[in-house]
């Protein structure tokens, strides 16, 4: 007996975007204000979990066909690559670089390799959380 939860599904569809945008904002705010890759990843995972609660596991897997184990691997490779890059230019492991660039639209922006490392952390957190939740959820 499938009940009609039209209110829940419609609200989840809208709220998903709000939560996801907030997660991206928190990810980029991590350098000067509270936030960063870990929290951003958890908030993104919670947005996907909201979709899973409103619909069901198979629907969400067909909407977002992501293999979360590969996502963890990609995140680890990005983080390790960022950390290991400094060894090729005769600096100690984990040395970060930053500089100011004049980008076409954003103007003067400081780009920091710590953001790349954080991106790796973000992907790992999303992947691990979603893998745990999907594995538990699929247990029939």
Which residues sit at the interface with another protein, rule CB under 8 A? 2-7, 9-11
Q: To 10 degrees, what angle do helices 37-54 and 113-138 make?
A: 30
- Shortest Å, Cβ 5 to another protein: 8
Q: Nearest distance from residue 10's CB to another protein, in Å?
A: 4
Closer to another protein by CB, 9 or 135: give it: 9
Task: Compute the Cα dihedral for 23, 50, 13, 7 and give only its sign.
Answer: negative
Minimum Å gap between C-beta 13 and another protein is 9
Secondary structure (H, E, C), 16-73: HHHHHHHHHHHHHHHHCCCCCHHHHHHHHHHHHHHHHHHCCHHHHHHHCCCCHHHHHH
Q: Which is nearer to another protein, 8 or 39 (CB)?
A: 8
Nearer of residues 1 and 136 to another protein, judged by Cβ: 1
Nearer to another protein, 2 or 108 (CB): 2
40 with 24: CB under 8 angstroms?
A: yes
Closest separation between CB of residue 101 and another protein, Å? Answer: 24
- Give Cα 130 to chain centroid, integer Å: 11
């Amino acid at each position: 007996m499938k009940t009609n939860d039209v209110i829940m599904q419609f609200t989840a569809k809208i709220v998903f975007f709000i939560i996801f945008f907030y997660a991206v904002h928190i990810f980029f705010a991590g350098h000067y204000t509270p936030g960063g890759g870990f929290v951003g990843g958890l908030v993104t995972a919670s947005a996907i979990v909201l979709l899973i609660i409103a619909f069901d596991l198979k629907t969400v897997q067909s909407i977002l066909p992501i293999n979360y184990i590969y996502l963890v691997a990609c995140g680890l490779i990005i983080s390790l690559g960022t950390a290991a890059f400094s060894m090729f230019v005769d600096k100690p492991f984990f040395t970060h670089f930053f500089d100011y660039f004049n980008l076409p639209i954003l103007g003067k922006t400081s780009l920091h390799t710590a953001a790349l490392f954080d991106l790796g952390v973000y992907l790992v957190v999303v992947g691990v959380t979603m893998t745990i939740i999907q594995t538990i959820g699929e247990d029939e």
